[in-house]
């Protein structure tokens, strides 16, 4: 178990934390906080306070420059933090998908590290996957149609057998009536309450 895990995850990394590790944790924390309701409420409060102080400063250029400069700096820094967190999430997601593809028996190995392919190769791969999916759908519909036809044939055979049995039973009764002769027919037509003459 440990050997296979080592092969999949590579050699162990040193325990010391680098600057990239601290930046990674910082970016993840800031990104999570920026998407919270507290951050949104704080941003709304800042914009409301800035708007209220407009008459105090006479809507001067300095008053406008404060909000413009502040939002520009925050947006500029947040772009890098969000992009770093997004890149890490994408790499983790690709690793999970690659692990699933490797574990599957009939998976296409060309899909592993597909995000590293160029645009033309991705378009060709997407077209091949689409054609494969359509082919599988046609095969599935064909199998379902064949199964329904087989069930219909079996049902028709059962109905035909039942009909043949009814006809055979009806033919036997008619033969028995013919063998009994006219005396049986007269006995059926004779009234029950009338006594037989000597």
Summarize pLDDT for 151-197 with one digit per residue, the tens: 888 887 787 788 878 877 766 555 555 555 555 555 555 555 554 44
Please give the C-alpha separations between residue 170 and each of 63, 164, 167, 175, in angstroms, as whole numbers: 107, 10, 5, 9
CA distance 92 to 88: 6
3-class DSSP assignment, residue 196: coil
In the predicted model, is pLDDT for residue 35 greater than 80? yes
Q: What is the pLDDT of residues 51-60, one digit of tens each?
A: 999 999 999 9
pLDDT at 190: 54
Of 86-95, 96-105, 127-136, 173-182, the one with minimum mean pLDDT is: 173-182
What is the rounded CA–CA span in Å between residue 103 and residue 90? 20
Q: Report how far residue 197's alpha carbon sits from residue 22's, in angstroms, rounded to the nearest whole number.
A: 124
Which region among 38-47, 65-74, 101-110, 186-195 has the lowest average model confidence (pLDDT)?
186-195
What is the dihedral angle through the alpha carbons of 145, 149, 154, 155, rounded to the nearest 10 degrees? 100
pTM of the model: 0.52
């Amino acid at each position: 178990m440990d050997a296979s895990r080592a092969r999949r995850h590579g050699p162990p990394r040193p325990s010391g934390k680098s600057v990239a590790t601290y930046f990674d944790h910082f970016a993840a924390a800031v990104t999570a906080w920026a998407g919270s309701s507290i951050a949104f409420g704080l941003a709304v409060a800042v914009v409301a306070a800035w708007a209220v102080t407009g008459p105090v400063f006479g809507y001067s250029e300095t008053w406008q420059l404060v909000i413009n400069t502040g939002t520009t700096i925050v947006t500029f820094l947040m772009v890098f933090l969000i992009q770093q967190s997004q890149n890490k999430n994408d790499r983790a997601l690709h690793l999970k998908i690659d692990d699933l593809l490797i574990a599957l028996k009939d998976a296409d190995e060309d899909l592993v590290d597909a995000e590293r392919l160029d645009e033309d190769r991705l378009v060709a791969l997407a077209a091949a996957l689409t054609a494969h999916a359509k082919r599988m759908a046609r095969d599935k519909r064909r199998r379902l149609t064949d199964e329904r036809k087989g069930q219909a044939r079996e049902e028709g055979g059962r109905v035909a057998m039942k009909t043949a049995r009814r006809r055979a039973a009806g033919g036997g009764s008619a033969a028995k009536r013919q063998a009994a002769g006219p005396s049986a027919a007269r006995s059926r037509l004779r009234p029950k309450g009338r006594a037989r003459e000597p």
